[in-house]
Amino acid sequence: MPTTPAFQMIETNDIRLRVVVQGKGPLCVLVHGWPESWYSWRHQIQPLCDAGFRVAIPDVRGYGGSDKPEPIEAYDMVSLNADVVGLITALGEESAILIGHDWGAPIVWTTAVRHPERVRAVVGMSVPHLGRGQRPTIDVLRHIHKDRFFYQIYFQEPGVAERELDADPAVSLRKVYFSASGDRPSGHGGLSGSKDPGANLLDGLIDPDPLPAWLTAEDVAYYAGEFARSGFRGGLNRYRNQERDHAMMPELSERKIEQPALFIAGTRDPVLSFVPGMRLSDAMDPWYTDLRGKVLIEGAGHWIQQERPAEVNAALLPFLRAL
C-alpha cells in the first residue's frame, strides 16, 4: 500500500468529510463510488500533483472517516451535490474540475448540470450521463430484471445487504471487486445475471485466489478495515434514493453538460450493458455540448482507475492540460 497521505476534516453542507488534499494548482475534486474510498484514487494522486494540479479526494458521506448520517434520505443526489460544492468553497476556490467514478460519476455529472458556475470541467468514469428518464432508474431496472437477480434491486430493502456484506468485509469486497473486474471469467454473471431473484448478493460470486494483479492483499486489507469501521449502510443508502432523486431534479430532463467533458470506461465494464442490446456509452452524446472524448480501454472492467491506472492517467492528463 502506498504511504497513507495526511487527511483534513473539512466541514461542508452541515457534515464533516475526511479529505486527502495534496498538491498546488487548479483544484481537482475526485469522487469515488461503491464500495470504495479515497483509496480508489491512489494511483492518480501523484501524477495529478506532478502535472500541476491540487487534488482533493473525500471519503463520500457514509464512508471511511467522513460523517455517516443515519436517515436514508440524507444520501439523495441533491445532498451529495451540495457536499461537493461546499468542499470547493471550503478549499477557497470558486470552481473546480470534477472527476468521478461509479456513483461518483453521477455525482460529478449532476453537480456540473445543477451548479455549472462551480464546475470548470468534468470527467466521469464507468457511468455515462444520460439525462433524466421518464421513470426513476430503479423502476426501469426492476422492469428489465424482473425474473432475475439484480444487485440494485437487492439493495432496496434496508438492512438486508448490510447484514450480508458486514459479516466479513474482506470476503465481501474481494468477491464484489472481482465480479465486476476485467479479470472475471467470460460468462460470469457478476452482480446480476441468471440467479434466482431471491438469492443473496454474494451467492455464486468468485472469491479470487490469487487476487488479480491490480488488487493486492494490502489493498483489500485497507478497504476491509475502512468498512469494518464504517459499515456498508451509508453507501447502500445511495441506491435507495433513486425515486427521490428523480422527483427532486426535474432540471436533468432538459439541461445538458456544457463544460468540457471526458468519459473513460473499460470495454468489460458490466455497467455499460445494463440495458440489454445497448451499450450505454453509445447513448450519451446528446447530453453534452463539449464532450472531448470517450476512452474505452480494451479488456478493462469496472474499477478502471485501479485496473488500468497508466492508461487512465494517459487519457486524463492531456484532457486536463488542454483546459
Q: Is the pLDDT of residue 182 over 80?
A: yes
**pLDDT tens track for 301-321:** 999 999 999 999 999 999 999
Can you tell me the mean pLDDT for 144-165? Answer: 94
Catalytic residue ranges:
102, 302
Alpha-carbon distance of 17 to 11, in angstroms, equals 6
Query: Could you report the per-residue pLDDT of 115-131, keeping only the tens digit for each?
Result: 999 999 999 999 999 99
3-state secondary structure 135-178: CCHHHHHHHHCCCCCEHHHHCCCCCHHHHHHHCCHHHHHHHHHH
pLDDT band at 274 (very low <50, low <70, confident <90, very high): confident
Instruction: For 198-215, write each residue's pLDDT tens digit.
Output: 899 999 999 999 999 999
CATH topology for 7-321 is Rossmann fold (3.40.50)
pLDDT of residue 2: 53
Per-residue model confidence as pLDDT tens digits over 208-266: 999 999 999 999 999 999 999 999 999 999 999 999 999 999 999 999 999 999 999 99
The pLDDT, as a whole number, for residue 195 is 85
The pLDDT of 161-174, averaged and rounded, is: 98
In this structure, the strands spanning 15-22 and 7-12 are: antiparallel
User: Could you give phi then psi for residue 248, rounded to 5 degrees?
Assistant: -85, -15
Three-state secondary-structure class, residue 291: strand
In the chain, what are the domain boundaries? 7-321
pLDDT at 141: 92
Q: Give the whole-number percent of the chain exceeding pLDDT 70.
A: 98
3-state secondary structure of 66: coil
Reduce the secondary structure of 78-125 to three states and give it as a string. Answer: HHHHHHHHHHHHHCCCCCEEEEEECCHHHHHHHHHHHCHHHEEEEEEE
Is residue 61 within 8 Å of 234, Cβ to Cβ? yes
| Alpha carbons 138 and 126: distance in angstroms, whole number | 18
For residue 294, what pLDDT band results from cuts at 50, 70 and 90? very high
pLDDT, mean of residues 73-102: 98
